[in-house]
């Protein structure tokens, strides 16, 4: 019997899919501070470590800043390390996110996308994680609970090959608190995919060394260059590991997902769980004979410039639907997509839409409205607000 | 895709009911989604939970449910406190926890004849099986027995298996309550439906 046939199909919430991914990755140190809607990840992992289902040390802390600090240290000590947060908690970690990258600590974190305050709001929006764009973390966005579990496992493999911290992102409630079928793989199969973590310069009390040393101008720039090179390598590693994952687990992921794109003149671009509803809407548009498809961005950092160009070049028009906003400019995936397309051959006009902020529902009709609005427009605009009351 | 909305009050177990119902359908080979109304819950306040059921591989959506195919009501006082029938599609089931017969309920609440009605005294059944307290009986598993009977799915067998796996406490008592509710459900199907 093949190992994969020992998988168990069950029903899990997104947050519990995270916890099972962490368990299967044999994480050794966890530190987290509770915040809605991430709390049930921390609770489940505390439960798993208490019962011995997961042989890890759970370090309780007084803040998110301390949680990320603890796992940076444990990662540098040679232990596979994990944390999870959302929104304000991620914002509080900001200083240490740079630190994790600079120290080349391959920590994995799950961020449950939640809108930032004020006004207080616990519902989904991607601005919290996207605002951490320049901290040097790998960022991977997800559409389903299965993908969340799979990506949590993948994240450790990728992070530990390139020594970069990695953030796995899922939407508040729409994934975190929604139950749906998930396949949980046998431990032996995950062990084959993900070998134990070893840090070549792990903290060793018998051979002490300095970490986070001072770097004067004649050295600092080389460290930064190496981080950029690691991100370029991460793009290749992401491709390799998702292919290996597909061979072993039967699920194929890529930097971008292509849906109904054959012969598509028009493309909708988005990330995260809104893609499910968008696929439903696009299938309806296809029934009406509209030549439209979807490109879902899964990998945000490193940004998959070549794949984005390959998919979008030669199309008639593109609409990017952002569940986030960079005030003073536009939606963030829009900005990134436009930047990637600059200089590409046969570049289509790209229209930027912002929708669903603070958890406002994005329904199939909203997607259809956006598609029709894009078709009507002649000149691209940076920021078109969908459904806002003004 | 079938969409079901469950109405209850905070603390009655409406969210757990959505998860049990989804799992029972999952056991029948369906693809499912169960989720709470994404809000801040307060004990006693009206709350809703949702279930989607469809064929594996079919396209789903990730939105709230606005036009349910069927509704389940854990607390009969909700029938007049909130508009539980809002958006309910014609021909849908209304499954209510009440000691009343469907005919009495239809007359008292004014349920239009385009809906099918099933009633069960889930509160009495829950108390008999010592689920919750007299002030706050846990009726979520009993009412699912009535749904299974009225709708014809999930099967009682799969429902009981899902209850045994998902009930946070007293799995056997919860399963027994669902079975008793299944057997004592009263049904009204108007001629128009």
pLDDT in tens, A94-146: 999 999 999 999 999 999 999 999 999 999 999 999 999 999 999 999 999 99
Confidence of residue A1 (pLDDT cuts 50, 70, 90): confident
The answer for residues whose C-beta is within 8 angstroms of residue A20's C-beta and 6 or more apart is A12, A149, A182, A184
Instruction: Fold for B2-188, please state it.
Output: Pyruvate-ferredoxin Oxidoreductase; domain 3 (3.40.920)
pLDDT in tens, A140-152: 999 999 999 999 9
Taking CB atoms and an 8 Å cutoff, what residues of chain A touch B38? 123, 172-174, 177, 359
CA A76 – CA A96 distance, rounded (Å): 14
- CB-closest option in A180, A283, A361 to B59: A283
pLDDT of residue A28: 98
Which residues is A297 bridged to in the sheet?
A: A256
Average pLDDT over residues A256-272: 98
CA B73 – CA B59 distance, rounded (Å): 28
Domain A256-385, CATH = 3.40.50.920
pLDDT of residue B43: 73
The answer for residues whose C-beta is within 8 angstroms of residue A207's C-beta and 6 or more apart is none
Asked if A361 and B26 come within 8 Å (Cβ–Cβ), the reply is no
- CB-closest option in B31, B32, B63 to A361: B63
Confidence of residue A2 (pLDDT cuts 50, 70, 90): confident
Residue-by-residue DSSP string for B96-128: EE-SS-HHHHHHHHT--TTSEEEEE-HHHHHHH
The 3-state DSSP class for residue A150 equals helix
CA A230 – CA A161 distance, rounded (Å): 9
To probe the interface with A, which of B62, B66, B154, B161 has the most A CB atoms within 10 Å? B62
User: What parts of chain B have a pLDDT lower than 70?
Assistant: 38-41
pLDDT of residue B39: 66
Q: Which of A55, A37, A45 is nearest to A18 (CA)?
A: A45
Strands annotated E in chain B: 2-9, 31-36, 46-54, 70-73, 93-97, 116-120, 186-188
Could you tell me the strand order of the sheet in which B93-97 lies? A8-13, A179-184, B31-36, B46-54, B2-9, B70-73, B93-97, B116-120, B186-188
Q: Which of A382, A269, A387, A374 is nearest to A321 (CA)?
A: A269
What torsion, rounded to 10 degrees, do the Cα atoms A149, A154, A157, A163 define?
Answer: -100
Query: Burial level of A284, CB count in 10 A (0-12/13-18/19+)?
Result: middle
CA A372 – CA A370 distance, rounded (Å): 5
pLDDT of residue B38: 66
Asked if B32 and A180 come within 8 Å (Cβ–Cβ), the reply is yes
pLDDT of residue B40: 65
Average pLDDT over residues A39-47: 98
Average pLDDT over residues A286-306: 98
Asked if A276 and B32 come within 8 Å (Cβ–Cβ), the reply is no
Q: Peptide bond before A119: cis, by omega within 30 degrees of 0?
A: yes
Asked if A273 and B60 come within 8 Å (Cβ–Cβ), the reply is no
Residue-by-residue DSSP string for A232-268: HHHHHHHHHHHHHHHHHHS----SEEEES-TT-SEEE
Average pLDDT over residues A328-354: 97
- CB-closest option in B35, B38, B62 to A276: B62
A306, pLDDT greater than 70: yes
Asked if A173 and B40 come within 8 Å (Cβ–Cβ), the reply is no
Interface predicted TM-score (ipTM): 0.94
Answer for the pair A176, A185: CB distance below 8 angstroms, yes or no: no
- CB-closest option in B23, B35, B40 to A178: B35
pLDDT of residue A209: 87
A218, pLDDT greater than 70: yes
CA distances, A156 to each of A61, A84, A126, A193, A301 (Å): 23, 14, 22, 11, 15
Asked if B62 and A181 come within 8 Å (Cβ–Cβ), the reply is no
Which residues is B70 bridged to in the sheet?
A: B4
- Architecture of the domain made up of A11-191+211-249: 3-Layer(aba) Sandwich (3.40)
In chain A, domain spans: 11-191+211-249, 256-385
- CB-closest option in B19, B38, B60 to A179: B19
Q: Which residue has the tokens 């009930």?
A: B167
Is the alpha carbon torsion for A279, A36, A114, A271 positive or negative? Answer: negative
The answer for residues whose C-beta is within 8 angstroms of residue A339's C-beta and 6 or more apart is none
Taking CB atoms and an 8 Å cutoff, what residues of chain B touch A280? 59-61
Structure token pair of residue A117: 């305050």
Confidence of residue A377 (pLDDT cuts 50, 70, 90): very high
pLDDT of residue B1: 93
Q: Which residue has the tokens 């796996």?
A: B165
Asked if A11 and B33 come within 8 Å (Cβ–Cβ), the reply is no
CA distance B61 to chain A (A): 4
> Which range has the worst mean pLDDT, A151-160, A165-174, A380-389, B5-14?
B5-14
Structure token pair of residue A133: 């764009």
């Amino acid at each position: 019997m093949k190992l994969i046939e020992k998988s168990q199909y069950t029903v899990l919430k997104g947050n519990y899919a995270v916890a099972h991914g962490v368990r299967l990755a044999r994480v050794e140190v966890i530190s987290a501070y509770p915040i809605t809607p991430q709390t049930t990840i921390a609770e489940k992992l505390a439960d798993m470590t208490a019962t011995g289902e997961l042989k890890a040390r759970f370090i309780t802390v007084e803040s998110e800043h301390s949680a990320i600090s603890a796992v940076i240290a444990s990662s540098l000590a040679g232990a596979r390390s994990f944390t999870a947060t959302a929104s304000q908690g991620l914002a509080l970690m900001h200083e240490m996110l740079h630190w994790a990258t600079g120290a080349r600590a391959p920590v994995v974190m799950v961020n449950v996308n939640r809108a930032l305050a004020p006004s207080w709001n616990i519902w989904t929006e991607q601005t919290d994680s996207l605002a951490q764009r320049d901290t040097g973390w790998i960022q991977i966005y997800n559409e389903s609970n299965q993908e969340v579990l799979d990506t949590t496992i993948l994240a450790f493999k990728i992070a530990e090959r390139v020594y970069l911290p990695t953030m796995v992102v899922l939407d508040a409630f729409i994934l975190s608190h929604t139950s749906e079928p998930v396949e949980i793989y046998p431990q032996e199969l995950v062990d084959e995919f993900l070998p134990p973590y070893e840090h070549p310069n792990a903290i060793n009390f018998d051979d002490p060394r300095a970490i986070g040393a001072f770097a004067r101008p004649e050295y600092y720039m080389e460290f930064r260059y190496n981080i950029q090179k690691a991100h370029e390598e991460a793009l290749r590693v992401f491709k390799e590991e998702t292919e290996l994952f597909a061979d072993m687990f039967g699920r194929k992921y890529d930097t971008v997902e292509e849906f109904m794109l054959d012969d598509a003149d028009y493309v909708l671009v988005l990330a995260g769980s809104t893609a499910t509803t968008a696929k439903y809407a696009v299938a309806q548009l296809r029934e009406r004979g509209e030549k439209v498809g979807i490109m879902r961005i899964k990998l945000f950092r490193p940004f998959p410039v070549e794949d984005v160009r390959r998919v979008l070049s030669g199309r008639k028009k593109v609409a990017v639907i952002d569940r986030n906003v960079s005030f003073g400019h536009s939606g963030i995936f829009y900005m990134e997509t436009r930047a990637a397309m600059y200089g590409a051959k046969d570049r289509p006009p790209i229209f930027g839409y912002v929708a669903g902020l603070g958890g406002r529902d994005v329904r199939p009709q909203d997607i259809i409205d956006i598609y029709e609005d894009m078709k009507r427009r002649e000149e691209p605009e940076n920021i078109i607000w969908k459904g806002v009351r003004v | 895709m079938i969409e079901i909305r469950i109405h209850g009050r905070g603390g009655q177990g409406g969210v757990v009911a959505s998860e049990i119902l989804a799992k029972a359908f999952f056991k029948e080979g369906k693809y499912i989604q169960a989720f709470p109304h994404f809000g801040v819950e307060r004990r006693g306040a009206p709350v809703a939970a949702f279930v989607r059921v469809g064929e594996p591989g079919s396209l789903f959506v990730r939105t709230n449910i606005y036009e349910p195919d069927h509704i389940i009501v854990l607390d009969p006082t909700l029938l007049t406190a909130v508009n539980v029938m809002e958006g309910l599609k014609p021909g849908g089931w209304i499954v209510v926890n009440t000691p009343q017969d469907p005919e009495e309920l239809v007359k008292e609440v004014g349920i239009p004849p385009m809906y099918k009605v099933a009633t069960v005294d889930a509160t009495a059944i829950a108390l008999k099986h010592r689920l919750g307290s007299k002030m706050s009986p846990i009726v979520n598993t009993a009412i699912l027995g009535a749904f299974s009977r009225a709708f014809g799915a999930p099967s009682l067998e799969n429902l009981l298996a899902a209850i045994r796996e998902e009930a946070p406490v007293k799995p056997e008592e919860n399963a027994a309550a669902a079975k008793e509710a299944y057997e004592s459900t009263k049904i009204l199907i108007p001629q128009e439906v």
